[in-house]
Structure 1
């Protein structure tokens, strides 16, 4: 009874005939089956990367923005990180989670300038007498020009010079104090020449001494500028105290030099330190998930910046969105994503050099939420972005800023890994074996009949 449903009935061997053509076709069939089997198995074991665009399901209100920027010609004292967005957020000189490092002339981090702490406002002294009234007995702070400043510095063992701009409000407040300070220096018979330079009329002098903010109070000893510049309170007592300390240090330095020379030792290193304008700013911001921007601007609560000497050339060491430290599973999944699908840090290492005055680079960033879903466990979103940059011109009176404008896309990208199902693989194998066997069997039968008919 069971034999009646046999699909694979056997034909007695003495009823079959072997031919050379059949042997050749069998070898061809076996070869084709092996090649197709290997190809199909390789395709089954290989996965493909697929992407899809969906509405962003993330409902969190804040987005983390990570940055590490190097400004080659901006002092950390004047670097301010500000945040603005379309909801009206306006945070100036952000101090939380932001660090500054002063750089040396080689661009290497040298001095930790704090976690972008808020700058303390210096004390300004008020005077009952006007500057004109103080000048009734003569001008004590010498007005210097391009023709007289070099001789003034050389002719005085020590010199203290105020570089100012007439339009600067801080300079206007300092003028009476500076004149009164010059009177005190003369009264105390201190070996210090006190002078002033108008940076509007003597612009080339101020460019020579790299005056970036007004007022800049520079100390000169034996013809050379001693850095850093004075940044303390602007009162007569504070200025006199600073001058007294500098004179005392200069005297001690000369005594050390003389003692070292008498002993035949190397010269003592001069007091003060060389100060370079570079600054590295790093940290992160928590911003609203709406269009906005953060920018680094040269700003000071105690100075007016010199727009023509503000250079915001910078290098983007790192810029990314989302959590800085991803889970291990996410890092493994991201490592499996081909590079053409990854735009998480596209401008890392890029430098943006400003070669003209009154210009700065603006960066326009489109942020797209991205989910890498390679397994069934819950996925953690990350963020990719594309960026365009352009150099923007500023008016003469405006201080340039390095701006990073961002816009979060309402759509999200889902990256998945697609592979074939096991039953698809088996179906293909059966089709390959059966199809190859049947097709070559038909070809063999056709050729056999053709050759047999010719023999007859």
Structure 2
């Protein structure tokens, strides 16, 4: 029936994906040849994109990534259709303007903000391994913010063969730390402030007394030597 026919190249590719087949040469498919599928891919060469948004994930380790090709499930695996990128290199140069895990709180430092990386080899996979630390911040008014901090290490997996042996892209692998960090704001009492001031003033007087004693005894020693004629 007409409902089972593939009237466009995209429908053909989707049918192949559902069957778990590989579409090796789209030019042999009338729909793809008619629509100029490969020509469209070549015309998009060198283009980039700006990605922003939010992800809600479970509190377990996982990953998210930016990679070419349409993704689909095959044999319970997440795979990408890399057919349009088999003959050319894929540039994964990127800049991370902002990446956070949770709500902002005063003093938080996100180590990937403003990070930029430029690819020099033909193909590869850039990986960020992130350790997320749950954090609770309580301000001076008692308002609590449940958020996270994270540390990161980086690794570039190069493919020197010139062919795509693995999925090219930028991958973020994250894992949660079993340790929670708590920050609390609080007032310093006037008595505590006064004690600190007294300690500082006392320290200044003590140091001044030591210097004064050193100078005084030094002058006396020099004066005695001058009186007995031993100072030269």
TM-score by structure 1 length?
Answer: 0.32
1:430 Cα deviation after fit: 9.1
Query: Which digits, 9 at most, give the CA deviation of each residue in 1:298-334, with x for residues without a partner?
Result: 11377613244211111111111113xx6xxx5xxx1
Confirm whether residue 375 of structure 1 aligns to residue 140 of structure 2: yes
The superposition leaves residues 113-157 of structure 1 with CA deviations (integer Å, 9 ceiling, x where unpaired) of xxxxxxx972449xxxxxxxxxxxxxxxxxxxxxxxxxxxxxxxx
Q: Which residue of 2 aligns with 1:280?
A: 50
For 2:127, which of 333, 339, 362 is the aligned residue? Answer: 362
Alignment match of 1:414 (pick from 173, 182, 191): 182
- The residue aligned with 2:63 is 293
Consecutive unaligned residues in structure 2, runs of 5 or more:
1-7, 14-20, 72-80, 206-232
1:389 match = 154
Matched, 1:400 2:168: yes
Measure the CA separation in 2 of the matches of 1:300 and 1:429: 66
Deviation of 1:426 after TM superposition, in Å, equals 6.1
Look up the SS of the partner of 1:289 in the other structure. coil
CA distance in 2, matches of 1:429, 1:279: 57
Higher strand share: 1
Is the contact between residue 26 and residue 37 of structure 2 (CA under 8 Å) also seen in structure 1?
Answer: no
**CA offsets, 1:356-414, max 9 Å, x none?**
02212101111112233332423112222111111112473333121001112121222
Matches within 5 A, 1:119-268: 122-124=10-12, 169-172=22-25, 174-175=27-28, 177=30, 216-217=38-39, 229=40
Q: Secondary structure at the match of 2:28?
A: helix
1:316 matched residue in structure 2: 96
In 2: Cα distance, 1:430 partner to 1:347 partner: 44
1:108-123 equivalent positions in 2, closer than 5 A: 122-123=10-11
Seen in structure 2, the aligned counterparts of structure 1 residues 169 and 408 have a Cα distance that, compared at 3 Å, is closer
Q: Is the 8 A contact 2:102 2:147 kept in 1?
A: yes
User: 2-side partners of 1:316 and 1:427: how far apart?
Assistant: 47
Q: Answer whether contact 1:352 1:361 (CA < 8 A) is retained.
A: no
Render the CA deviation track for 1:236-292: whole Å, top value 9, x for unaligned. Answer: xxxxxxxxxxxxxxxxxxxxxxxxxxxxxxxxxxxxx99851111111111111111
Matches within 5 A, 1:437-452: none
8 Å Cα contact 2:128-2:172 kept in structure 1: yes
Change (3 A) 1:124 1:374: closer
SS at match of 1:285: coil
Runs of at least 5 residues in structure 1 that lack an aligned partner in the other structure? 1-119, 126-167, 182-213, 218-228, 232-272, 437-456
Flag the structure with more relative contact order, 1 or 2, with Cα contacts below 8 A and sequence separation at least 6: 1
Aligned position for 2:230? none
CA distance change for structure 1 residues 414 and 216 in 2, over 3 Å: closer, same or farther? same
2:85 matches 1:306: yes
- Judged with a 3 Å threshold, the aligned counterparts in structure 2 of structure 1 residues 316 and 172 are, in CA distance, closer, same or farther, namely same
Rounded to whole Å, the distance in 2 between the matches of 1:380 and 1:319 is 18
SS of residue in 2 equivalent to 1:370: strand
Q: Structure 2: how far apart are the matches of 1:176 and 1:428?
A: 82
Give the superposed CA RMSD.
Answer: 4.0
Equivalent position SS for 2:50 = strand
